[in-house]
Structure 1
Amino acid sequence: MRENSTGRDESVDVYVRARTYESVRAVLSDDHNYAEGVAAARRVAAAVVAEAGALVLADVVVGLSLELASALERIAADQGMAAVDLADVWFVE
């Protein structure tokens, strides 16, 4: 996360950003084993809760959502459509 919306110090944001990246990398790390990618992402989430608590896990979820929204906006712009419409295609249909 680029801004410190948590009310905590900047080091939390560095931790959150690192764990957000780690979670994405966990899912992408083995494109031939979906189940292992999901399990790896769950391990990251469990580690965040153990190390920093549920509030920081919520920050990681928000960080993931912001990064996904940014990626959807770039992809949608390349396809000449609204990001919200692309999100509907990816998540609703």
Structure 2
Amino acid sequence: MRYFIDNIKTYASVNKKGRALQIYVQQFDRHLIADECSLDALKCDIEHQIRVMNEKYPRSRPVRLEVYENAKGGLFLWSMTATALSASYPMKR
């Protein structure tokens, strides 16, 4: 099955990491993907770029790739999101 990357939407970036990732994924806009193997390779490539950017900018929130698949129509939604780290700190009394 072939896949077509149709609509890449980005929001205003708030930091250098976000801008670098936006520029990176924009290169795939309106691309035809030949098969499942190529789709998996693209996903791995994007995940690798995210890891590189997370390591380059460790002080900002980590970014992760989430993939949502519509089982009926073969539609995919890939979302790169910045996640807040949950941490607990002891409170002084």
TM-score surpassing 0.5? no
Larger gyration radius, structure 1 or structure 2? 2
Decide which structure has greater helix share. 1
Decide which structure has greater strand share. 2
TM-score, structure 2 normalization: 0.37
